[in-house]
Amino acid sequence: MVSEPITPEGYDQLLREFKYLKDIEKPRVNKEKQTAAELGDRSENAEYHAAKEKLRHIDKRLFYLNSMIEKTQIIDPSQLEHSRVHFGLTVTLENIESGDEEIYTICGVLESEVESGLISIHAPLSKAMMGKREGDEFTIHLPMGKKEYEVIGLKYIPVFERRKEHRTEEDFGFK
């Protein structure tokens, strides 16, 4: 089985969502379904069908989360050396053509949030810069053409400090 890297914070979030859906949301929606079923004719009972649909979505999400939990590999990037690009590191790049600075943090699939600069370890840009040091240049070939970058900074910033969107238990539910 292929392991999927994740930070300790990302793993905690994954477990929180799984536990919330399993222990709180699914029983709540099951109760909704039972209440709706008691109203009588299920063939034209919109509340009953809506609850069944929610349960299907919850079960699919639980299955997905469980499969991710089983294949995750927790990596604490704060404990790694920071002289080369690796998982969990924040990398400042200079676009050689435009001179623009771009900042990215390499993270796990479930932690990625492109609009915050959090890119998956599987993204082409992540793969292209893995192992690079400050001062190294590299080229990445993209559908829109090639881009050339120079690594101008490496530092550790926790993934969840860079996120714009912080998920709460309300976000885990199927209201």
Q: Give the tens place of pLDDT for each residue, 123-159.
A: 999 999 999 999 999 999 988 899 999 999 999 998 8
Q: Give the Cα separation of 128 and 143 in Å (integer).
A: 15
Nearest Cα to 155, choosing from 90, 92, 110, 106?
90
**How many structural domains compose the chain?**
2
Q: Whole domain around residue 138: which residue ranges? A: 78-155
Looking at the structure, tell me whether residues 90 and 150 fall in a common domain: yes
Domain membership flag for residue 169: no
Q: What CATH number is associated with residue 13?
A: 1.10.287.180
Looking at the structure, tell me whether residues 66 and 119 fall in a common domain: no
Q: So what's the pLDDT on residue 56?
A: 96
| pLDDT above 80 for 168 | no
Mean pLDDT over the full length of the chain: 90
Domain membership flag for residue 135: yes
- C-beta separation of 67 from 80 below 8 A: no
DSSP 96-113: TTT--EEEEEEE-GGG-B
Looking at the structure, tell me whether residues 35 and 51 fall in a common domain: yes
CA atoms within 13 A on the CB side of 110: 25
* Partners of 167 in the β-ladder: none
Looking at the structure, tell me whether residues 84 and 149 fall in a common domain: yes
Domain membership flag for residue 165: no
Q: So what's the pLDDT on residue 167?
A: 63
Q: So what's the pLDDT on residue 10?
A: 92
Looking at the structure, tell me whether residues 82 and 150 fall in a common domain: yes
**What is the tens place of the pLDDT at every residue in 18-27?**
999 999 999 9
Looking at the structure, tell me whether residues 53 and 98 fall in a common domain: no
Q: Give the Cα separation of 167 and 9 in Å (integer).
A: 12
Looking at the structure, tell me whether residues 112 and 146 fall in a common domain: yes
Domain final residue, candidates 44, 74, 104: 74
**What is the tens place of the pLDDT at every residue in 36-73?**
888 777 777 888 889 999 999 999 999 999 999 999 99
User: pLDDT-based confidence at 162, cuts 50/70/90?
Assistant: confident
| pLDDT above 80 for 86 | yes
* Tokens found for residue 153: 């900074």
Q: What CATH number is associated with residue 149?
A: 3.10.50.30
Looking at the structure, tell me whether residues 148 and 102 fall in a common domain: yes
Q: So what's the pLDDT on residue 44?
A: 75
| pLDDT above 80 for 9 | yes
| pLDDT above 80 for 78 | yes
Q: So what's the pLDDT on residue 36?
A: 85
Q: So what's the pLDDT on residue 30?
A: 94
Domain final residue, candidates 74, 93, 110: 74
Domain membership flag for residue 30: yes
Q: Give the Cα separation of 149 and 16 in Å (integer).
A: 38
Domain membership flag for residue 166: no
Looking at the chain, the whole-number percentage of residues with pLDDT higher than 70 is 93
Tally Cβ neighbours within 10 Å of residue 104.
21
Q: Give the Cα separation of 46 and 27 in Å (integer).
A: 19
Q: Give the Cα separation of 103 and 91 in Å (integer).
A: 6
Q: So what's the pLDDT on residue 7?
A: 94
Domain final residue, candidates 74, 91, 120: 74
